[in-house]
Amino acid sequence: MTLTAIGTNEIAGKRGDSVTSLPITDSTTLTAGDFLELSNGKLIKSVTSLSSNLVGVAASTITTKVYSETGQQDYMGTIVEGLVIVKGLVEGSGGTYTTALAIGSKVSFHYDSSTGYGQFVVNSSSAPVGTVISGVVASSGSATDYWDYVLVQLDFESVGPNAGGAINITSTNACAINVSAVQTDETGLTQAAVFKHGSYQTALAYGTQTAHLVLKSMNITAGATAVYVFGNVTRITTSATSTGYMNCSYDYLSVGHNLVNGWATRGRVALTATCEVGEMSGLLGTCEVTGTTAITVTGGAVLASAILDMDIATTATVAQEVTCLEVRPHIRANIAGSSSGIRINVNCSTANYLDYGLDIRSMSANQTGAMRVLFTGASASLPAAIILEGQASSTSVITSGIKMQGSTTYFADFGASVDAAPFTKNGTAKTGTCSGWISVLDQDGTIGYVNVYTN
């Protein structure tokens, strides 16, 4: 390949807005205009490959000494942001970087070890280091590579020196980012922010999104043997009495426009290959009282592993069904074990003083019923709305299938149905042979019987 210098660009206004002195590597020559990177986490050297540790551009030319002989560290003035003159390259046909450079082009660092080449910037936004503000480099239209000087506005902070982000950690650390000091409070909010993207009160304006956006992404492959792997661990321990609230995690979705679906929090477990697994769940919540801890109640609060709250204002208009919890089982295969939409597992392997498996507290006069079973199948029928089953054991016996206590006016209220079942309105008593009876207890605890007749 052939490299040709155009040499027609007249660049004016060169300057380095932000220049800092950094220690440089042993026995190295750094040339003015060279891009520099961190070496061993603390020294700088000239870049020879696309680096995730770019720190700036050399402000002058210097050849360092050998530290062991001089006993002295050399430093280089480094332009970390500002206007710099650099070589702009446009490769000929067959090359990778064939797009011409023009004012406004995002440029990335490129190094070519071929004789006569070296360091350049090319038209690429995959790992941008800045923007061209003066000078153009056209394509040769042939296999020849063209270069000329261009004036670039460095922007290592907002553009980011690499495609991975403004901060890219490539070394192995016990802790990649460690914040060990107490952070200052945000103005107008008596609460410090250790990490923030936008402020607590004012969101960053991303405008109309025409592409997907992920604010935070973490993706690893974990080969784990007898170890735990956690995506996030947020642990807060109280150090004094407080009248405030504490949340280890808070997700807030504000919807003021048409939206197909929205979830403030979403969890998902996908079993993608044949494997042996234990308990799998998209969500797990635990609330525990440990040791000899004594808990006193404040107001009407309850201890719960999960609380779901649906709040609709009295002035709101909602033209759809509303539920505080919806469970959607999609059991598309006839599995070996039983399946259910909701399972309440009252474990009695140790002492368990649970009063009710399901406790419905009804306090609204606007309710139609505390519970409803609505069958909407297109065909066949529901074998049973409620099944009461005691296992075939003398110790697994349901004493009363249904127990009514307190103020219950009617045992049953038979509404109108298509075939008049199960209540048939007829003034003539059924006759036949008594084939058995149903045992009941009256309000005094006395056993009574309801005879069952067959024709």
Instruction: Give per-residue pLDDT as tens, 290-308.
Output: 999 998 887 778 899 999 9
Model pTM score: 0.58
Q: What is the pLDDT of residues 261-287, one digit of tens each?
A: 999 999 999 999 999 999 999 999 999
Amino acid letter, 338: S
| pLDDT for position 190 | 47
62-63/118-123 β-pairing: unpaired
302 vs 434: CA distance, rounded Å:
50
| pLDDT for position 163 | 43
Q: What is the pLDDT of residues 96-117, one digit of tens each?
A: 899 999 988 988 888 888 888 9
Task: Count Cβ atoms within 10 A of the Cβ of residue 77 and give its class: 0-12 exposed, 13-18 middle, 19 or more buried.
Answer: middle
Task: Count Cβ atoms within 10 A of the Cβ of residue 312 and give its class: 0-12 exposed, 13-18 middle, 19 or more buried.
Answer: exposed
What parts of the chain have a pLDDT lower than 50?
A: 158-164, 188-190
390 vs 397: CA distance, rounded Å:
5
> Domains plus CATH for the chain?
3-154 (2.40.300)
| pLDDT for position 158 | 42
Cα 43–chain centre separation: 36
Q: Is the separation of the CB atoms in 111 and 51 below 8 Å?
A: no
| pLDDT for position 419 | 54
| pLDDT for position 410 | 85
| pLDDT for position 81 | 79
Dihedral of CA 394/395/400/405: which sign?
positive
CA neighbours closer than 13 Å in the CB half-sphere of residue 170: 15
Cα→Cα distances 215→46, 197, 280, Å: 33, 9, 27
